[in-house]
Every structure is written in C-alpha cells, then in structure tokens.
Chains A and B, each alone.
Chain A
C-alpha cells in the first residue's frame, strides 16, 4: 500500500499493537480465537457444522463462552441483541452453505439498524471453492447487500489482522454487520512463524467527524430565529452517546423532542418536552408538531418512509430543516434538508447546545401541550384483554435497568409507544427490516450479555413461531427471559392493513392453528402460563418473574385490537386516524 493514500489519522492502539508472536504450530482456528479474545469477545452464538469444526475443536480451550443455538438465524439475532444492549460487537458463528445463508436475515436486520455484529462462517476447503462442493455457498456474494464489509481469509497468517480490522469496521463510523468467511483448510493451517497482526488500514481509522463550524453557525441561527422548533432523534444519538447533549439542547431552546422507533430511549419519555414516537404509527401530537414546526432538527436518523409518510408533505411549514447524520449518504436522500451536517451526533449536539440562545417559547409549548391533550393514546375498553393492559402490568414488574425487546407488528408498536424510560438500549426492536421472529433470540442475546437484569420479550404469536426453536437454547443456557406473547390469533398488523387499506378483505391472516404456548414452554422445561383476563396479569407476571429460568406468558388479547393513531397508506403525517371513541 502506498502511504500517500493513508490519511493522517489518530494513532489507534490497534495500529500500534506490537506484532503478535504465535507459539509454534498454532492453527488458523487458534489464531482466530486468540484474535477474538484480543477484541474483548466473551460470548459467541453459533452452531457447528462440517466446515467450522476446526474452530469448535479449539473452542473449549478458549475463555470464550459459546451459546449453542438451534438455527443460525437465531445466532445472528442473539449477537444483534447482545450488541444493541451492550454497545459491544456481537459475534455469531455458522458453518458453510445453508448455515451461512441462514445468517442472512439476521445480518440484514442488524446492518439496517446500524448494529455492530461480526459473523464468522466456515467455508469449504479453499481448493474446493468454486466447484459446487458439498455445502458450498457464495456467502460473500450473497451477503454483499446486507453487510458493511466482508472478508474471505485464504491464509491463516492474515487472520489476526482481518479480525482486528473487521471489528474496527463493525463498530466505527456508522456501525454495521461484517462477515469473515474462513475455509476449513485455513482453520487447520499450521502457522509456525510469528504472525504479525497486520495493522488496521489507517485510512479507516479517522476519528468521528466533527461538524463544520459554519454549518453549526447556520443551524444555530435557524434555531434562534425559530418560533416553533421541533427535534427528532434516532438511534444515532444512542450510538454516539449524545443523549445528554440532546436533552441539554432541547431544554435550552425549549424545543419538543420526538423520536423514531429505533430512537426509543434517547430522550426521557416522561420529560415535559417529550413528544413520543414520530411517523406512520407515531403519536398524534408528535406528528402534529412536526407538521407545524418552522424549524426541524433531525439527528441520528435516516428519515425513511415510515417516518416521513408522504414525503412531499413532510414538515411542510418548516423554513429550515437541519439534518445531522454521520453517514453523508443519508443526507439529501429522502428529505432535502437545507442544513446538512455529516458529523458525529454528540459533537454536533454539544456544539448546538453550547451555542444556542436559551429561550422560552411559551406559545409553542402551549400549542404542543394542547395537541398532547387533544390526541392522547387511547384504547377501547370492551371487556376483552387489551394489549395496553398487558404492557402496563409488565411495566410494573420492570426495573429501571431491565430491557424490553419487541418483535415486529402490532406488538412492536404497542410496546414502543407505551414504553417509558430514559435509557437507550433498554428498548430494542428490528426497525429497518421489521424482521418477525427477531425478539425472542435477540432477548436471549441481551440476557446472555447480562444475566443480572430482567429481559422482557414482547412478541406476537405469529412472530414467536418463526424462531421459537430457541426455547431449547433458553432452557439449556438458563437464560431467564420473560416472554410475553400478545396473542391475537392472527397476523394482526396485516389484518389491520387489510381491514383499513385493502378493501376489508381478510386474506390468509388468521392463524387457526398455533400451539398451546404455555404447554409448549413447559415441554421445553420452561415456565408457561396462559392469561385471558386483566385481573390475572399481575399474579402471572409475578410468577413468571420469580421463575428461575425462562418463562412465557401467553396472553390472549382482543383479536380486533388495532394500533392507533395510524396514518393511512400514502397519507401525510397530519392525516393520522385515531382510535374511535
């Protein structure tokens, strides 16, 4: 590499590490495991198969704990849940062929939501690559769209350097998924010589970019002149550790703060300035405030179609939109902000909070409070068990450090808009991909990362059956996840869409046959109980939370319960429909 293209960057400890001297005749698998330990890996989620057996041969001698999953998709989601709740890189391990391909959904889920995970895949022996050998798959080609980067290691001597670089790529800048594919013979290749730990490419080591002072000055001028400012915050605020700066900025300029689905937790839900979730199924008062704002700050978020709804009518009264994202490609992609700041969220919010003119905006605050009162979150009281009642009962058993993992669908939105808390990483879900079946394995990953806190998994019966084989993993690993199934006997969100937007034709949404989940849990050796009435919730939750091991509550909720408010498909944010009185 010609040094001229290596930008001058900070001396990263990884680059300055001394050469690693391998003891004579270490094999690739041992070099790999040692490199993982150097990266601080304490847990791997995986399952063995023909092409990763050399790694499994040496795994027992390593200090790394292994969680044996029942399907590779589960391993990827577990690594994801581990990463989202700890901020560390999650690691999953699969064999070649179908094993590697089973990771793809999990890689996409993590990568879409900027979650740092590293997937290790076994590959057929290097000499057999390209021959359509048994259990060969082109996992590099197959994973290009769902990873930040990938490596195929063809010489065991490269493994330490590749691992160091892969972890750096996964966690730096905008985090994402990275894959390392290792042929079986490379795992077995004996390396007698000292192996230099190849330094991470220095070009990749730039510090998180600071905001352009001119753009900060512009943003400050817009904010100071604004009568009706609104801040929207996404998961990027959590990744950057910018939640304190966000709160300081909001309080100093008295701007109300809404958040994206993935941003849940970046701003205290009980704060007087909190607007709740924005978007398609966001709170009416948040959507109303965004629609009326004259200055909109979007930070650490992408502004996808679920946030903007009809994008031409997004923030129609905003004279200025300030968009802050560490990934320049997100700026001007959907929403044309006039002030685009490609920079680290924390540095930018700190600069804005330091520079902004403290100002009270009494009229605007009163207006927002008026919308808050006019558009409260409502649900029907018809004698049937309502999901909001289940979530409220669950919240009473949830401590401040506990984690809630939501699946995808109605359960996800109910859980998100009814979640209260002030800590990023305490409410996680699959936002970008909307991967049904995410919650249960992700909850196991979160629990494996920290056994000292409760992890609640809120899911529907439709999503739970997609990855429920991991009940075996939960029991085997004694991971005491509390699974709360909001069972409406249908693919509920699809049913609501069909009712509201597709002519009321209910087509293939009823799940006539699902197992008795309480008995299923018991069959695996977990705690299981069915709940039909609100008055039984508290006792059931108390029993589940007291159980020493995984527990499942199958809560049969009102099958007609819907999410409200909701913006009709193709509508603008202001056109939300509310729960009928």
Chain B
C-alpha cells in the first residue's frame, strides 16, 4: 500500500468509545513525530469500545515508543503491535474508472483482480477491491492503465492470526 516503509508498524488499539478519543490518538502520534499512514476505526468485540487500526511510520524512533505512548492515554484499553505477527489484514478500495462507452475491457480486468462492479453509468464504472492490502495494490496496478476518476482506500483493518483474540 502507498507510503509503507521499513519503519512502518501495524498497531491495533482498543479504546473506550468516548468523546474526542480519535483526536487524542492522532494528537499523541502527531506530537511525537510519528507519521500516521492509515487509520480505521469501528466496532470492537467489547461493548463500549472501538477498535482502531493504525499504520504508523515511527521513523528513527524506537519502535516500541508508539505502543508505550498510546498506552499512556486514559481511554486506551490495550495496544498491540501486530507488525511482527504477520496479522490478517483486510482493506477495501473503491475505484471509479472512465470509459468511452465500452466498459468491457475494464470489467474484464476487474474480474481478473477479483473485484466487484458496484456502480456503473454510461461513461463510468465503479469497482470495489477488497482483500489483503498487497492484493489491492496488485489490482490497482492492473487498473492503472485506465482513466482513474476517483479512488478511495479504507486503509487496512487487522487482527492477529490464530488464537482467541487480541484482548477485545
């Protein structure tokens, strides 16, 4: 996925669903010079909590600092660095492509990439690509030869492989 570097970490954060909680997380990262590369937030397995999945470039700082700093936040229940665990990652991307009236080549390519057509007009096709971020990267590379009108990537969500869970 774009911007991923050797110093990127995949961080999973369980937070209480309280006011300004995302603001607290992004402020904590920004103030210490960590680059936020992607962020997704949504329901968690624990009532009253949200799961935040972050991809963060820690640059030259000790990699464990990002986990330690996030753990200092009062609303944070748990922080796990998934990077070393090769977690299950999943991402969704919507891509809108333009055509001159014949979408067949685009549709063929979307099918090859295991994408789904989710919207169409006389001159556009919108496809959804979902899966491991590397597969999404590969699909986008194949569609790159078409006229890209719009693109929205959700950023990955992730859970640890195997085992019962990651604390919520």
Task: Please list the residues of chain A having a beta carbon within 8 angstroms of any beta carbon in chain B.
Answer: 1-2, 4-5, 140-141, 144-145, 148-150, 152, 169, 201, 203-204, 327-329, 331-333
**Contacts A2-B49, A169-B74: A333 and B19 contacting too (C-beta < 8 A)?**
no
Q: Which 10 residue pairs are nearest across A and B when measured between Cβ atoms?
A: A329-B68, A2-B47, A149-B74, A144-B27, A1-B48, A2-B46, A145-B31, A328-B68, A5-B77, A329-B69
Q: Which of A148, A150, A332 contacts B64 (CB 8 A)?
A: A332
Report whether B65 and A5 are in contact in the complex, using a CB–CB cutoff of 8 Å.
no
The residue in chain A whose Cβ has the minimal distance to the Cβ of B27 is: A144
A331: nearest chain-B partner, CB-CB: B68
Q: How far is the CB of A118 from chain B (nearest CB, A)?
A: 14
1/0 per residue, CB under 8 A from A, across B1-43: the answer is 0000000000000101001100110010001000000000000
Asked if B71 contacts A329 (CB within 8 A), the reply is yes
Residues in chain A near residue B19, CB distance under 8 A = 140, 152
Question: What distance in Å separates the Cβ of B48 from its nearest Cβ neighbour in chain A?
Answer: 5
Contact of A5 among B20, B46, B62 (CB under 8 A): B46
Q: Is A5 a contact partner of B168 (Cβ separation < 8 A)?
A: yes
Q: How far, in whole Å, are A203 and B49 apart by their CA atoms in the complex?
A: 13
B: residues with CB less than 8 A from A are 14, 16, 19-20, 23-24, 27, 31, 46-49, 62, 64-65, 68-69, 71-75, 77-78, 167-168
Query: Which residues of B are found within 8 Å of A329, using beta-carbon distances?
Result: 65, 68-69, 71-72
**CB-contact partner of B23 in A2, A5, A141, under 8 A:** A141
A510 to B146, CA, bound (A): 67
Q: Which residue of A lies closest to B18 (CB)?
A: A151
The answer to whether B20 and A140 touch across the interface, beta carbons within 8 angstroms, is yes
Instruction: Provide 26 A-B residue pairs closer than 8 Å at the C-beta atoms, listed in order of the A residue.
Output: A1-B47, A2-B46, A2-B49, A4-B168, A5-B14, A5-B46, A5-B167, A5-B168, A140-B19, A140-B20, A144-B20, A144-B23, A144-B24, A148-B72, A148-B74, A149-B73, A149-B75, A152-B19, A152-B20, A169-B74, A204-B74, A327-B72, A329-B72, A331-B68, A333-B62, A333-B65
Report the Cα distance A478→B70, complex, angstroms. Answer: 45
Q: Which residues of A sit under 8 angstroms from B73, Cβ to Cβ?
A: 149
The smallest beta-carbon distance between A146 and chain B, in angstroms, is 10
In contact, B68 and A203 (Cβ under 8 angstroms) = no
Query: A149 — which chain B residues lie within 8 A by C-beta?
Result: 73-75
B48 x A2 contact (CB < 8 A): yes
Kindly provide the distance from the CB of B52 to the nearest chain A CB, expressed in whole angstroms. Answer: 15
Q: How far apart sit A273 and B167, CA to CA, in the bound complex (Å)? A: 47
> Which B residues touch A2, using CB under 8 A?
46-49
Residues in chain A near residue B23, CB distance under 8 A = 141, 144
Task: Determine the distance from Cα of A525 to Cα of B84 in the docked complex, in whole angstroms.
Answer: 67
- Chain B residues, CB < 8 A from A331: 68
Q: A145-B31, A328-B68, A329-B65 are in contact. List 5 more A-B contacts (CB 8 A).
A: A1-B48, A4-B46, A4-B168, A329-B69, A332-B64
Cα distance, A1 to B50, chains bound together (Å) = 12
A1–B49 Cα distance when bound, in Å, is 8
Q: Is the CB of B77 within 8 A of A328?
A: no
Chain B residues contacting A332 (CB-CB under 8 Å) are 62, 64-65
A371 to chain B, nearest CB (A): 33
Q: Which residues of chain B come closer than 8 Å to A1, judged between CB atoms?
A: 16, 47-48
Give Cα distance in the complex from A141 to B64, angstroms: 26
Task: Tell me which residues across on chain A come within 8 A of B62, comparing CB atoms.
Answer: 332-333
Q: Kindly list chain B residues whose C-beta atoms are within 8 Å of the C-beta of A152.
A: 19-20
- How far does the Cβ of A94 sit from chain B's closest Cβ, in whole Å? 20
A114, chain B: closest CB distance, angstroms = 12
Give CA–CA (A1, B48) in the complex, Å: 5
How many whole Å from A204's CB to the nearest CB in chain B?
Answer: 7
Shortest A266–chain B CB gap in Å is: 24
How far in angstroms is the closest Cβ of chain A from B79?
A: 11
CA distance A203 to B168 in the complex (A): 14
Instruction: Give the complex CA separation of A25 and B121 in angstroms.
Output: 61
How long is the Cα–Cα vector from A110 to B84 in the complex, in angstroms? 37
Instruction: Determine the chain A residues whose CB is within 8 A of the CB of B69 once the complex forms.
Output: 329
Closest Cβ of chain A: how far from B131's Cβ, in Å? 30
Inter-chain contacts of A150 with B (CB < 8 A): 20
CB neighbours of A145 from chain B (8 A): 27, 31
B141 to chain A, nearest CB (A): 39
**Complex CA distance for A328 and B46, rounded to whole angstroms:** 26
CA distance A201 to B77 in the complex (A): 11
Q: Give bound CA distance, A144 to B75, whole Å.
A: 13
Complex Cα distance, B78 from A5, in Å, reads 9
Chain B residues in 8 Å Cβ range of A333: 62, 65
Most buried by B among A152, A203, A204: A203
Q: A141-B23, A144-B23, A203-B77 are in contact. Are A5 and B68 (CB under 8 A)?
A: no
Closest B residue by C-beta to A141? B23
Q: State in angstroms the CA–CA spacing of A494 and B78 once bound together.
A: 44
Q: Give the CA-CA distance A203 to B15 in the complex, in Å.
A: 12
Question: Nearest B residue to A169 by beta-carbon distance?
Answer: B74
Cα distance, A1 to B46, chains bound together (Å)? 8
Shortest CB–CB separation between residue B11 and chain A, in angstroms? 14
Which residues of the other chain, A, contact B64 by a CB distance below 8 angstroms? 332
Task: Give the complex CA separation of A468 and B3 in angstroms.
Answer: 51
Q: In the complex, A331 Cα to B62 Cα: how many Å?
A: 10
**Nearest A residue (CB) for B66:** A329
